[in-house]
Structure 1
C-alpha cells in the first residue's frame, strides 16, 4: 500500500469503497479451496485470513480517522504494522464458516462507509477538516485494499498442487 496522495475521479466515494469490498468478497468465495500454503507478495506473505483481516483493519483504521476528524478530535495513529505480521490464526484453514463471517463483517463495514460518505457534502469530501488526505482521497486509497485479496488471488481453478 502506498502513502502517495491517492488519485481520485468523479466516481462516488461510497461506491468506490463498496465495489472494492464486493471484489474482495468475490475472491474470498474461492478461498475455501486454499491448500494452507501462504502466498508470497514482495517481502510479505498472505493467506485468506490475513487478507480479510488486513482489508477489515484498513477500513476500520480510516473510519476512525474520518470520525475523529469530523468530531474535531485528534486521530489515533496506527502503531501496529499488521501487514508485516502473520499470526497463527492467519495460517488456519479458510472454511465456509470463515467465508460467512468475512461476508458479514465486510458487508457491515461497506454499509458503514456508504452511510458515512454519502452523508458528507461535496465540500466535506474535498476540503475535509483536520490534517491529512481529503475524505474523497481516503475512499480512493481504501480501494487499494484489494491488494491484499489479490495477493491470495482467485483459487477457484487451483488444485492441491499450489
Structure 2
C-alpha cells in the first residue's frame, strides 16, 4: 500500500494489524491440521500469529535504530520456512485476546514514532530502506494471516 506524501505511512501498518485481527478471529475453528501453501510452506494459526508479531517487533527495532543513527541489528527471528514445535499449539480465545492486546499497540507505536519523525520518512538510509519503505513492507503482514486464511468450524484442511 503506497501512501500519499503527507500521510503518515505507518497508518498502513495499523490498518494491516486490524485486518490480521479480523482474520485471526476465525482461527478458533482450526482443526489442528496443517495448511500448506505454495506446496512447501506449512502454516498453523500460531505460526502466523508468531510471524505477524515478530515482523512488527523486528522492523520497529529497525526504525528506532535508523532514527538513532545506529546500525540495525540483523534479525534473529526464525523465518516462515521454520515451523516451531510451539506453532502446533491450538489457537485459543486467550491467544486471540493476546493478539488483540499486542498487535494494535505495536502498530500504534509505529504511528506515533512516524509522527515524531515526519520530516524523515523519505530520507535515504542506504543500505536500508527509507522509513516509508519499511512501513509499506510491514503493512504486508496481512500475507501471514492470509496463509491460514479465514476458517469456519467444520472446514477441513486444504492445500492452497
Count of residue correspondences: 154
SS in 2 for 1:45: strand
Q: What TM-score do you get using the length of structure 1 for normalisation?
A: 0.88
Q: What TM-score do you get using the length of structure 2 for normalisation?
A: 0.89
Gaps of 5+ in 1: 1-6
Task: Say which of 9, 15, 23 aligns to 2:3.
Answer: 9
Counterpart in the other structure of 2:139: 143
Alpha-carbon separation, structure 2, partners of 1:135 and 1:161: 41
SS in 2 for 1:126: coil
Residue deviations 1:69-111, cap 9 Å, x none?
1111111011444211111111111110111011111121112
Alpha-carbon separation, structure 1, partners of 2:2 and 2:11: 13
Counterpart in the other structure of 1:74: 71
Counterpart in the other structure of 1:155: 151
Report the RMSD for the aligned CA atoms in angstroms: 1.7
- Higher alpha-carbon deviation: 51-60 or 7-16: 7-16
Which stretches of structure 1, 4 residues or more, deviate above 3 A after TM superposition? 128-131
Residue deviations 1:115-160, cap 9 Å, x none?
1112112x3001154531110111011111111100000113x515
Q: Does 1:84 align with 2:70?
A: no
Gaps of 5+ in 2: none
